[in-house]
Amino acid sequence: MTKLKPIMLHHPPISAALFLLISLAFTPTTVNAKERMNVLFISVDDMNCDLGAYGHPLVKTPNLDRLCKMGVRFDNAYCQQPLCGPSRASLMTGLRPDTLDMHTLKHELREKNPDVVTLGQLFRNNDYFSARSGKIYHYGNPSMIGTDGNDDPMTWDERDNPVGIDRSQQENIIRYGAGQENNKNLGISMAWWDPTSQDTDHTDGKVASKVIEWIHEKKDEPFFLAAGFFNPHCPYVAPKKYFDLYPIKEIEIQDLDSARDDLLDVPDMAIQRDMKNWPFYFKDVSIDEARKCKQAYYATISFVDAQVGRLLDALIESDLLEKTIIVFWSDHGYFLGEKGLWYKRKAFERSARMPLIIAAPGFKQSEVSSKPVELLDLYPTLADLCGLMAPTNLEGQSLRPLLVSPNSDTWNKPAVTQIWHGKKAWGYSIRTERFRYTEWLEGKAGRELYDHRNDPDEITNLADDASQAEQVATLSASLRAYVKLPEAKR
């Protein structure tokens, strides 16, 4: 605090109280660090909305249920590209993949965008402690566990890269599909393991432990802490007790005849990566094996949910719950046998949509928003809620209006997801409150239109239905503004 020069009194003495007011008026003031809002940024990998917190009848997520009661659950949240690398880069910069020129898993954020200010970097620049444990930017899973992966060092003050038995003992992982027993690429596999183990034996348990340590250490200073969980990304590995929550007889897989029928009216480009060994992506995977992998996927969800509970408890123990914004997000959705498909990288709802929950003190609690929102909206939202000056080129919008009124009529922004497989295979999909509309090669390779009011599973493609011609024209015109794929990638 700047010292004032002594005041020479040439008039009758003033009262002590008045003197104090005058002194304060001329004294520079600073914001007390204890009054600033913290951020706990919780990421999961490849998680779809098969969650108890989203109404799924089987999947147990008691801690995400708890988080939903603390804030707003977004039922129609969408990624910008259903692939880890570009999705995460987009979220952390508030810019679309086309703007970043990032559409693959390559480590090229700073190479192509050297001056970009990332979300965590913005907090660092404003005297927050910014740190992450685990995966926030892209990591090969499990190959890059224990390394910095494709991380951005300018985002963080500290980085932590734990290694659990899911990485160090991966020879125990069971693999399905012809030739998979010799496939070292577990990052795309039908594979699982259910060891009798403790949560903290696993990478994600260690991620939670490190973030909890930071919460306790940094409780008296503002922080942006990122817990980057690797689950439920394949291979699906979790302690056996979480597998025991899901008797295999309760796990359902769609009938394959009806699954194939669902794809009859879909453009070839929409599923070109999926049909070589259909169903379930790998050759000779049986329905029973797919069912086992789905059980394992659900087990990893409940395992991650338990780690979220540990983080929430740590905030309570440190008396920080009322001054911490909590964000829970996945980088995209995931197929588990629906339409006979597996994994992500598709323009369908199940691939583009993912869970998003925001609990912000002073805003709505136990509310649900049905408005379409995007992951790149998180950057301007957190800057807004924490009173930070965000870069002016962000392409998302602050979600503050929906945290105040979750289904506000003033929110009319659609959500746009794009797919890029190569120069001759790409498309864009736009989601409004009612419709999903997709164009492949700007319509030259096909179109899709799904009415989510009547067809939430996207079974019937209405793009060529004469009665929907006006709707197709309107959505196509709206989508056109977002098609900015660099010429070199067309």
CATH code of 104's domain: 3.40.720.10
The structure tokens listed for 41 are: 């940024």
Q: Are residues 483 and 394 in the same domain?
A: no
Of 341, 374, 404, the residue that ends a domain is: 404
Does residue 137 lie within any of the structural domains? Answer: yes
Task: Give the pLDDT confidence score for residue 180 in this predicted structure.
Answer: 77
Q: Are residues 371 and 471 in the same domain?
A: no
Decide: 375 and 327 in contact? Cβ < 8 Å: no
Going from the C-alpha of 246 to that of each of 218, 237, 282, 299, 302, the distances in angstroms are: 38, 14, 24, 7, 10
Task: Give the pLDDT confidence score for residue 338 in this predicted structure.
Answer: 98
Q: Are residues 436 and 352 in the same domain?
A: no
User: Is 138 part of the annotated catalytic residue set?
Assistant: yes
User: Is 68 part of the annotated catalytic residue set?
Assistant: no
Q: Are residues 169 and 212 in the same domain?
A: yes
Task: Give the pLDDT confidence score for residue 14 in this predicted structure.
Answer: 39
Instruction: Name the catalytic one among 138, 202, 233, 332.
Output: 138
Does residue 6 lie within any of the structural domains? Answer: no
Task: Give the pLDDT confidence score for residue 86 in this predicted structure.
Answer: 98
Q: Are residues 396 and 420 in the same domain?
A: no
Does residue 126 lie within any of the structural domains? Answer: yes
Q: Are residues 120 and 203 in the same domain?
A: yes
Of 404, 425, 447, the residue that ends a domain is: 404
* 183: region left, alpha or beta (phi > 0 left; psi from -120 to 50 alpha): beta
Instruction: Name the catalytic one among 68, 79, 84, 386.
Output: 84
Please compute, for residue 361, the number of CA atoms within 13 A of its CA located in the half-sphere on the CB side.
Answer: 14
Task: Give the pLDDT confidence score for residue 34 in this predicted structure.
Answer: 46
Question: Distance (Å, rounded) from C-alpha 453 to C-alpha 351?
Answer: 18
Task: Give the pLDDT confidence score for residue 35 in this predicted structure.
Answer: 80
Of 404, 430, 462, the residue that ends a domain is: 404
Q: Are residues 372 and 291 in the same domain?
A: yes
Question: Distance (Å, rounded) from C-alpha 141 to C-alpha 166?
Answer: 10
Does residue 11 lie within any of the structural domains? Answer: no
Expressed as residue numbers, the domain containing 420 is: 416-489
Q: In 3-state terms, the chain is what percent helix, strand and coil (to 5)?
A: 35, 15, 50
Does residue 29 lie within any of the structural domains? Answer: no
Q: Are residues 334 and 234 in the same domain?
A: yes
Q: What is the pTM of this model?
A: 0.92
Going from the C-alpha of 52 to that of each of 14, 155, 336, 357, the distances in angstroms are: 66, 33, 16, 13
> Which residue's structure tokens are 């002594």?
6
Question: Count of domains in the chain?
Answer: 2
Which residues of the chain are modeled with pLDDT < 50?
Answer: 1-34
Q: Are residues 397 and 462 in the same domain?
A: no
Strands 223-228 and 38-44: parallel
CATH code of 470's domain: 3.30.1120.10
Does residue 18 lie within any of the structural domains? Answer: no
Q: Are residues 238 and 371 in the same domain?
A: yes
Q: How many residues does the chain have?
A: 490
Q: Which residues are bridge partners to 159 per DSSP?
A: 132
Does residue 411 lie within any of the structural domains? Answer: no
Does residue 8 lie within any of the structural domains? Answer: no
Q: Are residues 49 and 152 in the same domain?
A: yes
The structure tokens listed for 399 are: 């979600």
Decide: 48 and 350 in contact? Cβ < 8 Å: yes
What would the pLDDT profile of 43-75 be if each residue is shown by its tens digit? Answer: 999 999 999 999 999 999 999 999 999 999 999
Strands 435-440 and 447-451: antiparallel
Q: Are residues 359 and 461 in the same domain?
A: no
- Strand, coil or helix: 326: strand
Decide: 55 and 239 in contact? Cβ < 8 Å: no
Question: Distance (Å, rounded) from C-alpha 200 to C-alpha 191?
Answer: 21
